[in-house]
Amino acid sequence: MSRKHDINKEIENEVYCGTLPVLPKERKYGFIDALLVLSGYCIATWSYTQGSYLATLVGFKQLLIGAFLAAIFMLMIYQLPVIMSARYGIDIWIWLRSVFGPAGNKVVTIIIILVNFPWYAVCCELFADSMENLLGLFGIQLFNGAHLILSLSCVIIGTIIALRGVSTITWTTRILVPLLLLVGVAVVIVGFTSVPMDVIWNYQPELAGDADKTVNYVLSIEANFAFVITLVGGMAEVPRLCKSEKSSYYAGVLGQGAAGSFFVVVGAVMAIAMQYVTGKMVDDPTLMMATLSAPILGLSSLLLVAFANIGTQAVGSYIYGVMLKSTFKKSSYKVLVLVLGLYVAVLCVWGKITEYFGSFLTIGACVYAPLAALLFVDFFLVRKQKIDLKSAYELEGHNAYRYSKGFNIVGIICLALGFGFTLLIFDPINVVIHNKILFMLTPTFASFLFTGVLYYLLCKIPGVRRYVRRDTYAGPDKKPFDRAKVPPRQNIILLPLMWLACRILTAPYKLKIDKKNMDGIKPPFLVFGSHNSFMDFYVTPLALKPYRANYISELEGFENFGEWIYRQVGCLGTRKFINDQSLIKNITRVIRRGDIMVIYPEARYANVGTNSHLTKANAKLAKMLKVPVVTLNMQGNYLQQPIWNLKERKGARLHAELKCVVTADEIGKLSVDEIFSRISKELTYDEYKYQLENKIVIDDEWRAEGLHYPLYRCRKCGKDFAMTTSGSKITCKYCGDSYEMDELGQLHSSSGEIIHIPDWYEWQRGFVHEECREGRYKLDIPVRIWALPNAVNFVDCGEGRFIHDCNGFSLEFDNYRTEKHETLKFPAKSMTSLHTEYDYRGKYGPCVTLSTYDDTFFIYPTDESRDVFNPTKIQFATEFLGGLYT
Amino acid sequence: MEPNQEIESRIEEVLKAEKENKIPRMTKRDYIIAAVITVIALIGIIGGFFL
């Protein structure tokens, strides 16, 4: 087997094994091991460059604070998410797929390399400087261009070593770290013995006339933040090999914050000592030792530093080459290393990387700060320390992190804005401060905060949260919704905006509101509204204007739109068809504080634009609260967006009637039956009758599509679940009986018969009642179950068994709450109706829901049961068995 | 074993190990200590302005 083949195989193996989750038994590193490895990585000759750069900005005491405390402060925060690497045995490049998407991750990897690789150009520059300086000490003057040749030779030798693969790199590292330590020790001894201690301790830089001491201190803190944060890329491989989360975390913190920072301070001491002795500040340990001790020591150190710089260049090319290879699997490792070498060579030819050291540090940090913020917020606050590993590894069938063609737009936008935010504060190229207040936080930390807060807030928006958290099944929030939480009054600041939004949304449908018997009626009062579609929530606030109101809302709305906004608009969360005593208490609170309480007593949208039967509990509630009762009968809302097809019909026209049906004087005198009778009478409606009488033309070609959900039984052959719809037609798939829906909402058979849709609907109900009376009604099917415990997320409960018969409902499934396979029973008499959906959120298909106090179970058919699962029929049976219909 | 199968079986094992706490987690105490160190470092940085 050839050597070339060996290297390729080694690299392939390294890439493959380098991405696999490391099992607990395979972990190699305790705290000390990890600390040594990471310290080795953090110690490089560029530490001297950093030290001498800091010495140009601040005095020694401030330099010590910056080098140690600033580094540790930043590390304590941004290293915290590495516990995820330790927990799952993966490196951050795998995890970043959840933050940016697999394709986005590729882009971010390239950006990271672009901003990180100038470090290696610094090494090459240092190598060339060392050579030049030392030869100069021996009186050898080099020709023009020799510096470039020397730095390029460092690139070439480093690249050649990297191309030789894993074994050569392992040996290089073994020699490199002790060498660097040796150089460091020599520098410390020479530095501290060649100048008096107080010279170093009391050192203050000679600042230019216009230099601001405070600004320089902030710049030094910024340099330290940037220094530690930009090394994260190369350190990412180690935490997954640690045996505990704590050791991975503190090894990272102390590897850089103690060992790395120590060498930065050594670099500073060297620079200060050189300035004291020669009047010139240098960052070259070779020159320092040759000047401050003896040329022979300089010559020895030259060999050490030369190898150290070449070795660092080689190790860097290797680490980033492997990183690129794991991201771009089809590319050749050799080509990738050569591209990296070429990039460093270009930077060497440019020749100004040392001059712009501070600028390049900050530009690197401009990328790393938002990146670190995203990792921190994503892990702790958005994903709550859970990721879907199978999606992160892009295993077949696990696509939670595919997002938009492989890009997580939210993550990418936050990264870009975080980058831009830094530049708004500070121009690192020309060293110009644009915003002094934010600059005091340092550009890196300000960007970290900005990006973190931005990402967190964006993920609070329900739509964004659902987009980012497609992996909720991996670690769902199971805490039950707090139904007892006292509802706030409608937010007075949001109220005008809400009215404006309602006005805009109802405007196309020419809403007309009539008010009857409302003179002198002021809050508190109780409103019972008809319930046809989401449009009800836009019409009601306009009808009740100028007063504030609270609304009862199913928890599902909280999840869809977000709990905060739902509470601000005055919603009280509950679950449908349960005996919710907390809800009664909150309704009472709303009335007692003098507000309007709006209830939609049908608790479900009208299936075919006609009212459901109400229960007397509504009248009892009114009697108990002793406040006026107002009804709001809304017309046209169903026509505009019927539940069986949520596409909006532009031809619909809206009308609402707000009417006081029981005054404050009457409420004490009237019986429950009388109150109930008045409410029921005012909330009787028929949308198709309203359409016909008002000649409301709805001429959308697709106007009948979806009507087969409520009209499921063939009028001719009598088969259930027989109907299908297309365009403006509803047809039986068995006997072919067909009806055309006209523009006024009536159905026409081919024989000229005219059918009123609600009549067909109620005709079906009769058959279900008959099945129930005769004990024939039974549905026993496999289903797919999702639980909604709170306003945050759904929990996938997998497949289960759904049984509905004359005794009520049984739901057999793996209950995530108890982690047991169990059967929940819902007695027939405990529910007067059922929440149904025909196409949940326009994409999930038909479902029914069953609720306990802590969960709402959304029950969908499986492929096997799809043909016999019809929410309307289940609802008919529930209402009959629950006693709502007789 | 196919690469994807290998990854899948490793993921299962890692998740099982997580449940069984085989890799010791950062405890509440550890987080508090980390927070205290962070605050001390921050105070030190602020103190640097007065030097």
Does the CB of A201 have a partner CB in chain B at under 8 Å?
no
Chain A positions touching B44 (Cβ under 8 A) are 65, 69
The tokens 């530490």 sit on which residue?
A: A47
pLDDT digits (tens, 9 = 90+) for A380-422: 999 888 889 999 888 888 889 999 999 999 999 999 999 999 9
Greatest mean pLDDT among A126-130, A158-162, A853-857 lies in A853-857
At residue A718, the pLDDT reads 94
Mean pLDDT of A100-127: 87
Is pLDDT above 90 for A476? Answer: no
DSSP code per residue over A377-421: HIIIIISTT---HHHHTT-TT--TT-TBTTB-HHHHHHHHHHHHH
Mean pLDDT of A844-860: 93
A60: distance to nearest CA of chain B, Å?
A: 10
Is pLDDT above 50 for A576? Answer: yes
Greatest mean pLDDT among A103-117, A418-432, A849-863 lies in A849-863
At residue A356, the pLDDT reads 79
A69: distance to nearest CA of chain B, Å?
A: 5
Chain B interface residues (partner A, CB cutoff 8 A): 3-4, 6-8, 10-11, 13-15, 17-18, 22-26, 30, 34, 37-38, 41-42, 44-45, 47-49, 51
Q: Please name the CATH architecture into which domain A3-468 falls.
A: Orthogonal Bundle (1.10)
At residue A768, the pLDDT reads 96
At residue A332, the pLDDT reads 84
Chain B positions touching A27 (Cβ under 8 A) are 23
Is pLDDT above 60 for B1? Answer: no
At residue B8, the pLDDT reads 87
CA separation for the pair B14, A91 (Å, rounded) = 14
Does the CB of A21 have a partner CB in chain B at under 8 Å?
yes
Instruction: Return the residue of B nearest to A71 by Cα.
Output: B41
At residue A756, the pLDDT reads 96
Does the CB of A28 have a partner CB in chain B at under 8 Å?
no
A171-175, A605-609, A677-681: least confidently modelled range: A171-175
At residue A290, the pLDDT reads 74
Q: How confident is the model at residue A284 (pLDDT cuts 50, 70, 90)?
A: confident
At residue A771, the pLDDT reads 95
Q: Tell me which of A204 and A286 has the higher pLDDT.
A: A204
Residue A229: CB atoms within 10 Å: 27
Q: Which of B15, B37, B47 sits opposite A76 (nearest CB)?
A: B37
At residue A130, the pLDDT reads 79
pLDDT digits (tens, 9 = 90+) for A489-512: 999 999 999 999 999 999 999 999
Chain A positions touching B6 (Cβ under 8 A) are 20
Does the CB of A457 have a partner CB in chain B at under 8 Å?
no
The tokens 């070259």 sit on which residue?
A: A284
Does the CB of A217 have a partner CB in chain B at under 8 Å?
yes
At residue A661, the pLDDT reads 96
Is pLDDT above 70 for A443? Answer: yes
Q: Tell me which of A138 and A685 has the higher pLDDT.
A: A685
Size of interface A-B (CB pairs under 8 A): 88
Is pLDDT above 70 for A210? Answer: no
Is pLDDT above 50 for A1? Answer: no
Does the CB of A88 have a partner CB in chain B at under 8 Å?
yes
Q: Provide the 3-class DSSP secondary structure of residue A399.
A: coil
Q: Tell me which of A19 and A141 has the higher pLDDT.
A: A141
Angle between helices A102-116 and A357-377 (to 10 degrees): 150
Is pLDDT above 50 for A371? Answer: yes
| Backbone CA torsion sign across A866, A872, A877, A878 | positive
Is pLDDT above 90 for A886? Answer: no
B16: distance to nearest CA of chain A, Å?
A: 10
Q: Which of A24, A59, A390 sits opposite B17 (nearest CB)?
A: A24
CA separation for the pair A381, A377 (Å, rounded) = 5
What kind and span of H or E run contains A488? none
Q: Name the H helices within A595-671.
A: 617-625, 637-640, 664-669
Contact B38 A73 (CB under 8 A): yes
Parse chain A into domains and list their residue ranges: 3-468, 494-686, 777-881
Angle between helices A46-55 and A118-137 (to 10 degrees): 80
Greatest mean pLDDT among A272-281, A386-395, A720-729 lies in A720-729
Mean pLDDT of chain A: 88
Contact A23 B14 (CB under 8 A): yes
pLDDT digits (tens, 9 = 90+) for A77-88: 988 988 988 999
- pTM score: 0.77
> What fold is seen in the domain A777-881?
PH-domain like (2.30.29)
At residue A530, the pLDDT reads 96
Is pLDDT above 70 for A9? Answer: no
Q: Tell me which of A314 and A102 has the higher pLDDT.
A: A102
Mean pLDDT of A567-577: 91
Chain B positions touching A221 (Cβ under 8 A) are 45, 48
Greatest mean pLDDT among A283-292, A474-483, B28-37 lies in B28-37
At residue A882, the pLDDT reads 92
Percent with pLDDT over 70 in chain A: 95
Chain B positions touching A217 (Cβ under 8 A) are 48-49
Chain A positions touching B12 (Cβ under 8 A) are none
Instruction: Return the residue of A nearest to B3 by Cα.
Output: A16
A236: nearest Cα among A16, A19, A383: A19
B36: distance to nearest CA of chain A, Å?
A: 10
Residue B28: CB atoms within 10 Å: 8
At residue A93, the pLDDT reads 79
